[in-house]
Amino acid sequence: MPQIKTKLPPQRELADFLDLNHGTVTRAYNVCEERGLIFASVGRGTFVSANAQADATAFSDETGLVYDMGTVHPLYDQNNIIIADAAKEVAFRLKFHYEDSNETKTSCSDKFSVRPETYNAMLRETNGSAIVGQNIGGKPYMLQINATKSDSTATATTYNQTKADMSKKTANLFIPTNCTIADDNVTDNVTITFANFIKGVSNSTITYNNVGNITVTIFDDKWTKVDQNLTNKAKAHCIMNSSNNTHDSTGKVGCNIEANITLSFYPKMFEGRLSIKNFNGGGFTYISNDGAMHAIANTDILALLYDNATATNYHENCYAFDVRWTLTLTKDPVDWVKPDNWVKPSNWAEDIDEITPQNSINFFVNNL
């Protein structure tokens, strides 16, 4: 370690000696000066600061992680310090060396917490593979939850939290306008099993036994416990009962980590149930242009979940979409006889040039 007030060589001379790019040495000098390790005097040169032998360390009692924050010059504030990851309890330990008295003093800040900004989540198959197609109601899925840093994408890998300290608010079903179904049974239909967060990730499980768009709230109000003050909110080092990520006028953010995760679920399949009733309930049906003389086909179409239960939220004005279906004969009726002297009705499609049982069915289905 150079002695205090040692004069450093000019940047270009040092670059030539070390066989480095001049810009590299310039950046190194700038970083050292910003940290208070060196100082420049116009016309005289660059010298080693009195604080080059001091240190500043941020440390975490609980995780054992040490954050090297660089040297702090005693005459200036240390601003824009970035702690790279989450910590339940962290503090600054500052060591100062005073040249005049040749004394070294150490000061430690109060402990505080550094929390993730929020959570993001995605559904996966229970084996962790990507889902192909839509999310099916009634099917178990992995709910992969990531605790994220301030850019909301990078994972906070030191966020290790037990499921006992996590909370799930009641899941809510989004009810579209004019939809008449109620969401009273949504909580009962949602099964979530939270897993511990390990290195910022929780591979939980979820099953929603219906269809629709639901919102699940992921919530943690325990991580920042060291900053909270339950008896005097004004003295808390974070905003109590808040998950706001924007600093207020005193520099505080919300104590809680919270995110609303929206998940959409759809039917697995549709099942059609068909029953045919002959003309007048008899044993035969006329092939005729008169609809009153035709057989009546009754159809029930069911939207089914993963376990083949009925998706009751698949309801008009709610989560139902227009369903297109085709009625097809597997074979012609017994004793089918083509009518003599048949003339194609004027309202039949142009591409139909003869009467068959299927063509008759297509016409009446398309004009329902």
Kindly report, residue by residue over 97-143, the tens digit of the pLDDT: 666 677 777 777 788 999 999 999 999 999 999 999 999 999 999 99
- pLDDT tens digits, one per residue of 331-355: 656 556 666 666 666 666 666 666 6
Residue-range domain boundaries for the chain: 7-114, 118-265, 269-304+326-368
Q: Which residues pair with 8 in a beta bridge?
A: 46
pTM for this prediction: 0.66
Span 245-250, mean pLDDT?
A: 91
pLDDT tier, 75 (very low <50, low <70, confident <90, very high otherwise): very low
pLDDT at 218 over 80: yes
State how far the Cα of 83 lies from the Cα of 103, in Å rounded to an integer. 29
Q: What is the pLDDT of residue 40?
A: 82
Whether residue 62 is predicted with pLDDT greater than 60 in this model: the reply is no
CA 161 from centre of chain: 18
Strand pairing class (7-8; 201-208):
unpaired
Instruction: Count CB-CB contacts under 10 A for residue 205.
Output: 14
Which of 73-82, 97-106, 182-191, 354-363 is least confident? 73-82
What's residue 187's pLDDT?
61
For residue 220, give both structure tokens: 């943690």
Query: What are phi and psi for residue 152, nearest 5 degrees?
Result: 65, 15
pLDDT digits (tens, 9 = 90+) for 151-179: 767 899 999 998 887 765 567 788 888 88
Q: Which CATH number fits domain 7-114: 3.90.930, 1.10.10, 1.10.1760, 2.115.10?
A: 1.10.10
Give dist(CA 54, CA 72) in Å, integer. 8
Tokens of 107: 């000061």
What are the DSSP calls for 153-186, one per residue? SSB-TT----GGG-EEPPPEE---TT-----TTH
Average pLDDT of 34-63? 67
Q: Which two tokens stand for residue 153?
A: 């994408």
Q: Assign 81 to helix, strand or coil.
A: coil
Residue among 309, 316, 298, 299 nearest 269 (CA): 309
Q: Give the DSSP letter of residue 339.
A: P
